[in-house]
C-alpha cells in the first residue's frame, strides 16, 4: 500500500517528519517497506544565477558561464541551449552526487576551459524526463536550497512516497484514512473530521438494480446512481500526480475518481458507461461457461455460482473484482452509472482465486471493506465526479441493505496489563480505543464498522498493545519452572535419536538431510510410490511421493557425489520415513550407506571394497549406542531391495526387527545409477525395548581370579550352515563355564570338496570354583563336539 | 697372576662377538677354565699361602666376570644400534586412513537451540509431518477462506476417490505441534518443537522443505514481556553476543494476539552480515500471545491460562550464525559441503561447554 505524505496530510493534521511517521508505522504493525523521498537526493543543490554567458572558444555548442553562487562567482561550462545571462538555475557543485547521470562531480576542464560544477536539467535531478535544457526557475535567491524552493513552489514533485506492508487483518489500512487514524491514535497528529456529503438526486435513476434470490448471501448491498451529462477527459494535475506517485496510471476523470477512493478510503467503486448498459442491472450467479471480456481486455470464462452483474444482454461485470470492457467508461462517456456495493469477502476470494484476477478491487473486497461507509462513499464520489466532470445526479437506487455488523466486547484493563506485561493505565487504554474509532459504553467497546478483524476481547488487547508500542515493552524474566538445577527434558526417543546420530558420525559417516519427498520410481523401488503417499500438488516430478525409506534419498545423494568424482562415500541420515499418508504413518530411521572402498588406496594396503560386515559392525554399534540388547537373532528374508543372500535382519524374535544390514540389490543400484559396491544399514531406534531398570546402580562386578582357558575347534559342516548356529550350539555345551565363543576362521573348498566348509572357533572357558584340570577340559570339549554335531551335522576336523 | 689378569682383560676387550666372548668365559672361568683350575690348586697350599691366594683368585674371577658382562652389554648395544639404524622409516608417509564423519548443521543447531531452551524449562515436543488440515490450519484459527492458507503455498496429500475427508497437508509450520501438545499435556506447558516443514516454493532463497522451531509457554501469568525476555536471552546465548538488541514490531498472525515480528540487531559491511552490532535490523521470527481460539482448540481454558508462542527458521539461524550462504545446499548432500559446514561427532553443544565452534 503506497501513499504520499501530502495525501496522508489530507486526513492527518501533523507536524511529524517522514522519518518519525515511518518509525511509528512500522512499530504499529504497518511495516514500512520503502520510503522514496525525492528531497533526499536534492538536499545539496542550491540556486544560482547566470551573470554572463559567452561562447566557448573551441566548441560551437558550449558556453562559458559566470555564475553567481553562495560561494562567490564560479566559471561553469554548459552545453544547454537555454544557458544565458540572467536566468536562475540549479547548481551542482564539485563533490555533489547527481542522481540522473550517476556521477559525483569534480572540477574539470572541458575543451581546455575549467568548469566548477554544473547547472542541472530536470532529468539530471530525476524530477522528470525533461532534458531539452537546464532548469530555469521563475523565482528564488542565490544560495537558497533547491529542495526548499520545490517544497514551496512545486510540492507534488518532492512529495515523499511511503510504501507499507499490510497484514491481512487490516483492510482499513488499505485506505490512507485508516493509516492516518492509526497514527493519530499513536499521537502523531490529529485525525481530520470525516466528511459528510449528501448530493440530492435531481431525477429518478433510470437504471434499476436488484439481487437474485440465490445471491443475497453473496451481495449484501448494491447501491448506485446515474450522473448524466458529464464531460470525461484527463484528470486535473493534482489527481494525476497522486496516482502517478503511487504507481497508478491516470486514465480519465471518471476512472481516476474510482481509483482515488480505492486508495483514499479503501472504497472500491465501479463506473459503467450508462449509455452502453441495456436495461436494468441484476446481481446474480453466473452460469457455467458464461464469458466476459473484462477491463484488462482478457476474456474470462465464469464458473457456476460466481457472482456477476448483468444487464439484458448478459454479464457486464465480475462482481467486486473487475468490470467489463463493453460497458467501461471512455472519453465519450456522457452518462455514468456509479456503483458502490458490499460483497461477501469469502466469495470474492474464491472467485478471484479461480479466475486468477489480481485487481485492487478484489484485493480490498476479499479482505473486507467498511460496509458503514458504503452509502457515504457513493455520495462523496458523486460529489467528486460532479466537481471534475459536471453533470446531474439521479436519486440513489439500492438493492439489499447495508449489513449490521455492530458488536461490542468487554475491555478488561487488568487482563490487558497481564497479557502484555506493561502497565498501561485504564484511561490510556480507553483513549487508544476511542481514537481508533471504538465507542466505549462502560466497559464495553463497540467495534467500528471498518474493523472486520476485531472479533473478541483478545483483539482489543492487541489494539491497545500495538498503539502503546511493543518496541517500548520492557522484557521481564520468566519464572523458572523450579528453583535450582533444571531437570533433563529429552524423551527416550529423542536421546536415542541424538545418540544414534552422533554414533554414526563417530563411525565416519557424513550426515545428510535429504528431502522427505522423492520421485515415484525411486519410491516404488523401496516399497513406496503408492497413491496414499502421493502429493496432490508436487513442486516437480522429482518430489512427488513421501519417501518410504531413507535409502533412495541417500543413494541419489551418492550418485550426485559420484558424478562429482567422489567414489568412496559414507553417508547417513536420521529422519522420518512414511509408510502411508496418514499422520500416524511416520517412523524414524537411522540409515547409513557405504559406497566404494573403505578408503583411498594407500601405502599400507588397507583399502578394500566395502562389504556387508562393515555395515553389520556399524549397525551393531548404533544399536549398542541406543541400548539394544547384545543377544539378538540374525534373520533373512528382508525386503526385495537387498541382495537376497547378503543381508540380515537384526531381530528380537521374528516380528521385532531392530535393524537390517547388507548389500543393496544390484538391480536397484543400476536403476538409481549408483556405481557399487554399496552396503547399507538401517536401524529403528524406537523398536529397541525401553530399559526396565530404574536404578543407576550397576550390578556388582563378578570376576574370577582363576585363569581362563581357551581351546580351538574346527568343524567341517555343510556350506549352508550358519556360523551363529554353530556358535550357539558350542556355547550351550556348558553355560556356566563357557564365557565366549568366537568364529576365527572360515575355509571353503580345497580338500573339503563341494558344498562343505570348515569353521574354526575359539571357546573361552572361565572356571569359577577351582582351576580346570585337563580331564575337565576334555569333558567339556567332548560335549562341545557332541552339541555342534547334533546342531549342524558337522564333524570335528581331524 | 697379574699376567693372567692382563691376558684375559685384553682378550675380552678384543672379543668381536658374543660367541667369542662365550669361548673366553669357558676358557677363563668355565669349569675347566684357567682360573677355575688355579682355584682348585688352593687345596694343596699351606693355610698361609691360601690366605693370600684365595682372596686374590676370587677377586680375579669377579673382575673377569664383570669384564665379560660389561663387554656383552656393549656388544648388544652395538647390535641394537645397528638394527635400529636399519629400521629407519619414512615418517612423512601418510598415516593409515580413517574416515571422519560429520554432523549436519541443522542437527547441530537444533541441539544448540534445545540446550538453551532446556535451561529455561522447555521440553522438546514432536508431531507428524503429514498433518490433518484441522491441526495445521483450523485449530490455529486459519479457516478455509483465510488468505494465509493461499499465501502459505501448502502441499496437499492426494485423496483416494471416495475419501471425502479434507486432504491432509504437509505441515506448513511446526505450529500444529502446539495443538497436539496442548491436547496431550494440557497446561501449564513449556515446549519447543523443532522439525521439518514444507511449502511449495523453490527459488534462490526458498526450498520446498526447511526446518522450524516452535516455542510455546503457557501458565497463569505468562506475558508478552516474558516472551521478549525469553527471546532476548535466547539470541544472546545462541549468537553469543551479550546485550544483543531485538526489536518487536506489532504484526498479525491468525494464531496469536497480540502478535509481533521480531528483528535482531545487525550490520552489513562489505557484503558481510554481522549479528549483534550496528543499527540495521534483520527479521528472524514471528511471535505473540496465543490466541484464545487456539487455546480452546487445544482444550485449554483461555480464561485460566495464557502464554506465548513463537516460530523461527532453524536453517535460517544456522545460516546467520555460521555464515552459510545458500539454503538449497543444505539438502544437496554434496560431500564437500557436508565436510566444510559439518560438525565433529563429539562436538555436543552444551551450555557449560559453549554452543559454537
Q: What is the pLDDT of residue B6?
A: 87
- Residues B166, B227: one domain? yes
Q: Is A32:A162 a contact under the CB 8 Å cutoff?
A: yes
Beta strand pairing status for A633-635 and A517-518? Answer: unpaired
Q: Are residues B273 and B137 in the same domain?
A: yes
Which CATH code for domain A40-158?
Answer: 2.40.50.140
Tally of domains within chain B = 2
Q: Do A490 and B124 make contact, defined as CB atoms within 8 angstroms? A: yes
Same domain for B47 and B162? no
**Cβ proximity of A471 and B249 under 8 Å:** yes
Give the CA angle between residues B220, B225, B226 to the nearest 5°: 55
φ, ψ at B210 (rounded to 5°)? -150, -170
Strand runs labelled E in A160-218? 161-165, 190-191, 209-211
- What percentage of chain A exceeds 90 in pLDDT? 81
Q: Categorize the per-residue pLDDT at B150 as very low, low, confident or very high, splitting at 50, 70 and 90.
A: low
Q: Quick one: which of A270, A399, A282 has its CA closest to A339?
A: A270
Determine, for residues B249 and A26 on separate chains, whether the beta-carbon distance falls below 8 Å: yes
Handedness of CA A370, A376, A378, A382 (dihedral sign): negative
Average pLDDT on B220-235 reads 96
Q: What is the DSSP letter of A145?
A: B
**Residues in B touching A515 (Cβ below 8 Å):** 208-209, 331
Structural domain boundaries enclosing B52: 2-86
Partners of B250 in beta bridges: B260
Q: Reduced to 3 states, what is the DSSP secondary structure of residue A204?
A: coil
Task: Considering only the beta carbons, identify the residue of A511, A539, A557 that sits closest to B103.
Answer: A511
Q: How confident is the model over B36-61, as a mean pLDDT?
A: 86
User: Are residues B82 and B124 located together in one domain of the fold?
Assistant: no
Domain boundaries, chain A: 2-37+160-191, 40-158, 209-400, 408-471, 492-687, 709-796
| Mean pLDDT calculated for residue range A212-217 | 93
Q: Rounded mean pLDDT of A457-478?
A: 94
Residue B108 in this model has a pLDDT that exceeds 90: yes
| Residue B44 sits in the same domain as residue B122 | no
> Does B97 sit within 8 Å of A600, measured CB to CB?
yes
Q: Which residue of B has its CA nearest to A608?
A: B97
CA distance B175 to B214: 6
Same fold for the pair A40-158 and A408-471: no
Model pLDDT, residue B151: 65
DSSP symbol at A672: T
* Residue B152 in this model has a pLDDT that exceeds 80: no
**pLDDT at residue A601, rounded to an integer:** 87
Give residues 550 to 579 of A whose Cβ lies within 8 Å of B: 554, 557, 560-561, 564, 566, 569-572, 574-576, 578
Q: Is B306's Cβ below 8 Å from some Cβ in A?
A: yes
How much is the mean pLDDT over chain B? 91
pLDDT digits (tens, 9 = 90+) for A218-238: 999 999 999 999 999 999 999
Residue in B95, B133, B158, B216 to test binding to A, most A beta-carbons within 10 Å: B158
pLDDT at B147 over 80: no
Count residue pairs from A and B with Cβ separation < 8 A: 272
A498-542 tens-digit pLDDT: 999 999 999 999 999 999 999 999 999 999 999 999 999 999 999
Tell whether B156 is within 8 A of chain A (Cβ): yes
Residue B353 within any structural domain of the chain: no
- Kindly state whether A401 is in contact with chain B, defined as any CB-CB distance less than 8 angstroms: no
Closest chain B CA to residue A499: B345
Which residues in chain A have Cβ-Cβ distances shorter than 8 Å to B155?
535-539
What residue in A sits closest to B100 (Cα-Cα)?
A: A508
With beta carbons under 8 A apart, name residues in chain A contacting B332: 557, 560
* Distance (Å, whole) CA A91 – CA A137: 12
Q: Are residues B206 and B293 in the same domain?
A: yes
Of the CA atoms within 13 Å of residue B62, those in its CB half-sphere come to 6
Are A510 and B102 an interchain contact pair (Cβ–Cβ within 8 Å)?
Answer: yes
Q: What percent of chain A has pLDDT over 70?
A: 100
Q: Of A504, A219, A462, A175, which is closest to residue A343 (Cα–Cα)?
A: A219
Inform me whether the pLDDT recorded for A3 exceeds 90: yes
Q: Would you say residue B306 lies in a domain? A: yes
Task: Please indicate, yes or no, whether residues B311 and B216 belong to a single structural domain of this protein.
Answer: yes
> For an interface test with A, which of B90, B92, B97 has the most A Cβ atoms less than 10 Å from its Cβ?
B97
Residue A596 near chain B (CB below 8 Å): no
When CB atoms are compared, the residue of A418, A480, A534 closest to B223 is: A418
Chain A residues 329-358 within an 8 A CB cutoff of chain B: 345-346, 349-350, 353
Q: Which of B110, B125, B130, B346 is the best substitution to test chain A (most A C-beta atoms within 10 A)?
A: B130
Within 8 A of B257 by CB-CB distance, chain A residues are 458-459, 461-462
Whether B250 sits inside 8 A of A462 (CB atoms) is yes
Q: Which residues of B touch A575 (CB under 8 A)?
A: 196
Place B286 in a pLDDT band, splitting at 50, 70 and 90: very high
Q: Is B150 on the interface with A (CB under 8 A)?
A: yes
Q: What is the pLDDT of residue B309?
A: 98
Q: What fold characterizes domain A2-37+160-191?
A: Phenylalanyl-tRNA Synthetase; Chain B, domain 1 (3.30.56)
Cross-chain residue pair A537–B155, CB shorter than 8 Å = yes
| B97 neighbourhood in chain A, CB within 8 Å | 598-600, 602, 606-607
CATH architecture designation of domain A408-471: 2-Layer Sandwich (3.30)
Give pLDDT tens digits for A50-98.
999 999 988 888 999 999 999 999 999 998 989 899 999 999 999 999 9
Say if residue B113 is in the same domain as residue B252.
yes
**What is d(CA A782, CA B268) in angstroms, rounded to the nearest whole number?**
81
Q: Which of B86, B118, B150 is the last residue of a domain?
A: B86
Judge whether B180 is closer than 8 Å to chain A, CB to CB. no
Asked if B228 lies within 8 A of A473 by C-beta distance, the reply is yes
Q: What is the CATH number of the domain that holds B245?
A: 3.30.930.10
A736-748 mean pLDDT: 93
User: How far is B288 from B252, CA to CA, in rounded Å?
Assistant: 9
Q: Tell me: the pLDDT tens digits for B301-344?
A: 999 999 999 999 999 999 999 999 899 999 999 999 999 999 99
Kindly report the nearest CA distance between residue A380 and chain B, in angstroms: 30
- To the nearest whole angstrom, how far is the Cα of B282 from the nearest Cα of chain A? 13
Residue B225 lies in a domain: yes
Residue B97 domain-assigned (yes or no): no
Residue range A709-796, CATH number: 3.30.70.380
Residues B113 and B30 in one domain: no
Mean pLDDT along residues A580-600: 95
- Span A209-400: which CATH code? 3.50.40.10
Distance CA A449, CA B267 (A): 43
CA-only gyration radius of chain B, Å: 42
Q: Does B148 touch chain A (CB under 8 A)?
A: yes
Q: Which residue from B99, B202, B229 is facing A508, i.e. has the nearest CB?
A: B99
Query: What three-state secondary structure class fits B156?
Result: strand
Residue B66 lies in a domain: yes
| B249 to A570: CB separation less than 8 angstroms, yes or no | no
DSSP-assigned letters across all residues of A569-582: EEEEEEEEEESSSS
Separation between Cα atoms, residue B343 and residue B325, nearest integer Å: 17
Does residue A674 register a pLDDT over 90?
A: yes
- Of all residues in chain A, the one with the smallest CA distance to B249 is A27
Distance from CA of A571 to the nearest CA of B (A): 8
Q: Give domain status of residue B96, yes or no.
A: no
pLDDT score, position A529: 93
Under a CB-based contact definition with an 8 Å cutoff, are residues A493 and A627 in contact?
no
ipTM score of complex = 0.89
Tens of pLDDT, residue by residue over A613-642, are 999 999 999 999 999 999 899 999 999 999
B72 shares its domain with B188: no
Residue A76, phi then psi, degrees to nearest 5 = -130, 130
CB contacts of A504 in chain B (<8 Å) are 101
- B333 Cβ contact partners less than 8 Å away, ≥ 6 residues apart: A512, A513, A514, A554, A557, A560, A561, A571
B113 and B55 in one domain?
no
For the cut 70, the answer to whether the pLDDT of residue A418 exceeds it is yes
Average pLDDT for A658-663: 97
3-state SS, one letter per residue, for A448-486: CCCCCCCCCHHHHHHHHHHHHCCCCCCCCCCCCCCCCCC
Which of B25, B51, B86 corresponds to the end of one domain? B86
On whether both B313 and B274 belong to a single domain, the answer is: yes
- Specify the CATH number of the domain A492-687: 3.30.930.10
- Tell me if the pTM is above 0.90: no
Task: Please report which confidence band the pLDDT of residue B35 belongs to, taking 50, 70 and 90 as the band edges.
Answer: confident
Q: What is the pLDDT of residue B44?
A: 85
Closest-CA residue of B relative to A598 is B99
Higher-scoring residue by pLDDT: A342, B244: A342
Task: Name the binding residues of B.
Answer: 257
- CA atoms of A4 and A11, how far apart (whole Å): 12
CB < 8 Å to B168, chain A: 581-583
The predicted pLDDT at position B148 comes to 65
| Residue A91 near residue A125 (C-beta atoms within 8 A) | no
Query: In this structure, is residue B350 part of a structural domain?
Result: no
Mean pLDDT of chain A: 93
Interface of A with B in 191-220 (CB under 8 A): none
Cβ separation of A516 and B209 shorter than 8 Å? yes
Three-point CA angle B293, B299, B305, nearest 5°: 75
Give strand ranges (E) for A93-166: 97-98, 103-104, 108-110, 113-115, 118-119, 161-165
Residues of chain B with Cβ-Cβ distance to A532 below 8 Å are 158, 160
Residue B351 maps to a domain = no
For chain A, positions 493-512, list CB contacts with chain B under 8 A.
493-494, 498, 501-512
Amino acid at each position: 500500500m503506497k501513499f504520499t505524505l501530502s495525501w496522508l496530510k489530507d486526513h492527518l493534521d501533523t507536524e511529524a517528519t517522514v522519518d518519525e511517521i515511518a518509525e511509528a508505522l512500522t512499530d504499529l504493525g504497518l511495516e514500512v517497506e520503502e520510503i522514496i523521498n525525492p528531497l533526499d537526493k536534492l538536499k545539496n543543490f542550491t540556486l544560482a544565477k547566470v551573470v554572463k554567458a559567452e561562447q566557448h572558444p573551441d566548441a560551437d555548442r558550449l558556453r562559458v558561464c559566470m555564475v553567481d553562487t553562495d560561494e562567490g562567482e564560479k566559471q561553469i561550462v554548459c552545453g544547454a541551449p537555454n544557458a544565458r545571462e540572467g536566468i536562475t538555475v540549479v547548481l551542482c557543485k564539485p563533490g555533489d552526487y547527481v542522481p540522473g547521470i550517476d556521477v559525483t562531480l569534480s572540477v574539470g576542464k572541458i575543451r581546455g576551459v575549467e568548469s566548477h560544477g554544473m547547472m542541472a536539467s530536470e532529468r539530471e535531478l530525476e524530477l522528470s524526463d525533461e532534458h531539452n535544457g537546464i532548469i530555469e526557475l521563475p523565482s528564488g535567491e542565490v544560495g537558497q536550497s533547491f529542495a526548499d524552493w520545490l517544497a514551496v513552489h512545486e510540492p507534488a514533485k518532492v512529495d515523499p512516497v511511503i510504501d507499507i506492508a499490510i497484514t491481512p487483518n487490516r483492510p482499513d489500512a488499505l485506505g490512507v484514512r485508516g493509516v492516518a487514524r492509526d497514527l493519530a491514535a499513536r499521537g502523531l497528529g490529529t485525525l481530520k473530521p470525516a466528511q459528510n456529503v449528501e448530493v440530492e438526486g435531481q431525477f429518478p435513476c433510470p437504471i434499476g438494480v436488484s439481487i437474485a434470490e440465490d445471491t443475497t448471501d453473496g451481495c449484501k448491498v448494491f447501491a448506485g446512481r446515474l450522473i448524466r451529462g458529464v464531460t470525461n477527459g484527463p484528470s486535473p494535475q493534482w489527481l494525476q500526480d497522486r496516482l502517478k506517485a503511487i504507481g497508478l496510471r491516470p486514465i480519465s476523470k471518471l476512472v481516476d475518481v474510482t481509483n482515488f477512493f480505492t486508495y483514499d478510503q479503501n472504497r472500491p467503486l465501479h463506473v459503467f458507461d450508462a449509455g452502453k448498459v441495456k436495461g436494468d442491472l441484476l446481481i446474480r450467479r453466473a452460469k457455467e461457461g458464461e464469458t466476459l471480456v473484462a477491463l484488462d481486455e482478457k476474456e474470462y470464462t465464469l464458473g457456476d455460482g460466481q457472482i456477476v452483474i448483468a444487464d439484458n444482454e448478459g454479464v457486464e461485470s465480475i462482481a467486486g473484482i473487475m468490470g467489463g470492457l463493453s460497458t467501461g467508461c471512455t472519453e465519450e462517456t456522457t452518462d455514468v452509472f456509479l456503483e458502490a456495493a458490499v460483497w461477501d469477502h469469502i466469495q470474492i476470494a474464491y472467485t478471484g482465486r479461480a479466475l486468477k484476477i489480481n485487481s485492487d478491487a478484489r484485493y480490498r473486497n476479499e479482505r473486507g471493506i467498511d460496509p458503514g461507509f458504503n452509502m457515504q462513499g457513493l455520495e462523496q464520489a458523486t460529489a467528486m465526479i460532479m466537481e471534475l466532470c459536471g453533470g446531474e445526479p439521479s436519486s440513489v437506487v439500492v438493492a439489499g441493505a447495508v449489513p449490521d455488523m455492530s458488536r461490542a466486547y468487554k475491555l478488561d484493563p487488568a487482563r490487558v496489563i497481564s497479557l502484555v506485561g506493561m502497565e498501561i493505565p485504564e484511561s490510556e487504554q480507553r483513549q487508544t480505543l476511542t481514537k481508533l474509532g471504538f465507542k466505549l459504553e462502560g466497559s464495553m467497546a463497540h467495534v467500528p464498522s471498518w474493523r472486520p478483524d476485531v472479533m473478541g476481547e483478545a483483539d482489543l488487547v492487541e489494539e491497545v498493545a500495538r498503539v502503546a508500542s511493543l518496541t517500548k515493552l520492557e522484557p521481564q524474566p520468566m519464572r523458572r519452572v523450579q528453583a535450582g538445577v533444571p531437570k533433563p527434558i529429552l524423551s527416550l526417543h529423542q536421546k536415542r535419536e541424538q545418540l544414534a546420530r552422533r554414533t554414526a558420525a563417530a563411525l565416519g559417516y557424513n550426515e545428510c538431510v535429504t528431502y522427505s519427498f522423492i520421485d515415484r520410481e525411486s519410491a516404488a523401488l523401496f516399497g513406496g510410490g503408492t497413491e496414499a503417499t502421493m502429493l496432490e500438488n508436487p513442486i516437480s516430478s522429482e518430489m512427488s511421493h513421501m519417501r518410504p525409506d531413507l535409502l533412495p534419498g541417500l543413494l541419489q545423494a551418492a550418485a550426485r557425489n559420484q558424478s562429482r568424482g567422489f567414489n568412496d562415500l559414507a553417508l547417513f541420515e536420521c529422519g522420518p520415513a512414511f509408510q502411508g499418508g496418514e499422520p500416524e504413518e511416520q517412523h524414524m530411521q537411522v540409515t547409513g550407506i557405504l559406497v566404494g572402498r573403505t578408503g583411498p588406496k594407500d601405502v599400507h594396503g588397507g583399502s578394500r571394497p566395502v562389504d556387508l560386515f562393515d555395515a553389520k559392525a556399524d549397525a551393531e554399534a548404533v544399536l549398542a549406542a541406543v541400548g539394544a540388547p547384545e543377544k539378538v537373532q540374525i534373520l533373512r528374508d528382508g525386503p526385495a531391495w537387498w541382495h537376497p543372500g547378503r543381508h540380515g535382519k537384526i531381530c528380537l524374535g521374528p516380528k521385532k526387527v531392530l535393524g537390517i544390514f547388507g548389500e543393496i540389490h544390484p538391480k536397484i543400484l543400476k536403476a538409481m545409477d549408483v556405481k557399487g559396491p554399496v552396503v547399507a544399514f538401517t536401524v529403528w531406534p524406537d523398536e529397541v525395548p525401553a530399559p526396565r531398570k530404574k536404578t543407576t546402580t550397576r550390578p556388582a562386578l563378578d570376576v574370577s581370579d582363576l585363569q581362563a582357558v581357551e581351546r580351538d575347534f574346527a568343524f567341517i559342516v555343510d556350506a549352508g550352515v550358519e556360523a551363529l548356529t554353530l556358535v550357539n550350539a558350542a556355547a550351550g555345551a556348558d553355560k556356566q563355564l563357557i564365557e565366549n565363543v568366537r568364529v576365527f576362521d572360515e575355509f571353503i573348498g580345497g580338500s573339503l570338496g563341494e558344498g562343505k566348509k570348515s569353521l574354526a572357533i575359539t571357546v573361552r572357558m572361565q572356571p569359577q570354583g577351582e582351576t580346570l584340570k585337563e580331564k575337565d577340559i576334555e569333558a567339556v570339549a567332548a560335549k562341545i563336539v557332541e552339541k555342534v554335531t547334533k546342531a549342524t551335522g558337522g564333524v570335528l576336523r581331524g | 697372576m697379574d699376567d693372567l689378569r692382563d691376558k684375559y682383560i685384553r682378550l675380552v676387550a678384543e672379543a668381536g662377538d658374543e660367541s667369542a666372548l662365550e669361548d673366553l668365559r669357558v676358557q677363563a672361568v668355565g669349569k675347566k677354565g684357567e682360573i677355575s683350575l688355579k682355584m682348585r690348586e688352593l687345596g694343596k697350599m699351606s693355610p698361609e699361602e691360601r690366605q693370600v691366594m684365595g682372596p686374590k683368585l676370587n677377586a680375579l674371577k669377579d673382575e673377569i666376570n664383570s669384564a665379560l658382562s660389561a663387554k656383552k652389554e656393549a656388544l648388544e648395544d652395538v647390535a641394537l644400534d645397528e638394527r635400529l639404524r636399519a629400521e629407519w622409516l619414512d615418517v612423512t608417509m601418510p598415516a593409515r586412513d580413517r574416515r571422519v564423519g560429520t554432523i549436519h548443521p541443522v542437527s547441530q543447531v537444533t541441539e544448540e537451540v534445545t540446550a538453551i531452551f532446556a535451561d529455561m524449562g522447555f521440553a522438546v515436543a514432536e508431531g507428524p509431518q503429514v498433518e490433518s488440515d484441522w491441526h495445521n490450519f483450523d485449530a490455529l484459527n486459519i479457516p478455509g477462506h483465510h488468505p494465509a492458507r493461499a499465501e502459505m503455498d501448502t502441499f496437499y496429500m492426494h485423496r483416494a476417490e471416495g475419501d471425502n475427508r479434507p486432504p491432509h497437508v504437509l505441515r506448513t509450520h511446526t505450529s500444529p505441534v502446539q495443538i497436539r501438545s496442548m491436547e496431550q499435556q494440557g497446561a501449564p506447558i513449556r515446549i519447543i518443537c523443532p522439525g521439518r516443514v514444507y511449502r511449495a516454493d523453490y527459488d534462490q532463497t526458498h526450498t520446498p522443505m526447511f526446518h522450524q522451531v516452535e516455542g510455546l509457554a503457557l501458565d497463569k501469568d505468562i506475558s508478552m514481556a516474558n516472551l521478549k525476555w525469553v527471546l532476548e536471552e535466547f539470541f544472546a546465548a545462541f549468537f553469543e553476543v551479550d546485550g544483543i538488541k531485538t526489536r518487536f514490531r506489532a504484526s498479525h498472525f491468525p494464531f496469536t494476539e497480540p502478535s509481533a515480528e521480531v528483528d535482531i540487531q545487525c550490520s552489513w559491511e562489505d557484503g558481510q552480515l554481522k549479528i549483534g552490532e550496528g543499527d540495521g535490523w534483520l527479521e528472524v521470527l514471528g511471535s505473540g500471545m496465543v490466541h484464545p481460539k487456539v487455546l480452546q482448540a487445544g482444550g485449554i481454558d483461555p480464561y485460566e491460562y495464557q502464554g506465548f508462542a513463537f516460530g523461527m527458521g532453524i536453517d535460517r539461524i544456522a545460516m546467520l550464525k555460521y555464515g552459510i550462504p545458500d539454503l538449497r545446499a543444505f539438502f544437496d548432500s554434496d560431500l564437500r559441503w557436508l565436510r566444510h559446514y559439518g560438525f565433529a561427532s563429539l562436538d555436543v553443544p552444551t551450555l557449560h561447554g559453549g554452543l559454537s565452534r
